[in-house]
Amino acid sequence: MKVFLIGFMASGKSYWGKEIAQKFSLPFIDLDAVIEKHYRMEISKLFDQFGEKAFRILETEILSKTIKNSDSFVMSCGGGTITESKNRELIKGHGISVFIDTDIDTIISRLEKTKTVRPLLANLSDEALKSKVNTLMKERRNYYEMANYRFDPQNESLDEFLKTLKI
């Protein structure tokens, strides 16, 4: 089984992905880490060098290869992975998706501490960061809500959620 975790940056996809993978004895894959390893470059540098549009093409290639080369896993996808139609098709056609639905205030708080390593947020003031996060969330929320499942870590435990997960 292939489980894809989607959601906004800093929503906890990597953290929860590792937890879910451990519970089901599945390998954990962080898509951003695979991209960085493949291109020997940090995501922020890939964005700087190629721009977001080209990065999304690279991301789709790595997502596709990883899906083809792995039987089962729990994958943490990048916050914008799901915005590309090809990626939505790949995810839907090869496994189940889980939207990690972390509240916006928690996300903003986390991003204020790590914004310098986030390509879309680097060099923003805290006010500009809040505005950008709200704008991006509005643009992406419909894609996130297309997931097969929704996990709200503020209002349910992982064990409660996993009882609803059919894998």
**Mean pLDDT (10-residue bins), the chain, 167 residues:** 96 97 96 96 89 94 96 96 97 97 94 80 86 94 97 95 83
Residue 78 pLDDT? 95
Buried b (16+ CB within 10 A) or exposed e, 29-65: bbbbebbbeebeeebbebbeeeeeeebbeebbebbee
Angle formed at CA 75 by CA 73 and CA 80, multiple of 5 degrees: 155
* SS3 state of residue 129: helix
Residue 167 pLDDT? 64
Residue 31 pLDDT? 97
pTM of the model: 0.94
Residue 48 pLDDT? 86
Q: How far apart (Å, rounded) are the C-alpha atoms in residues 158 and 19?
A: 8
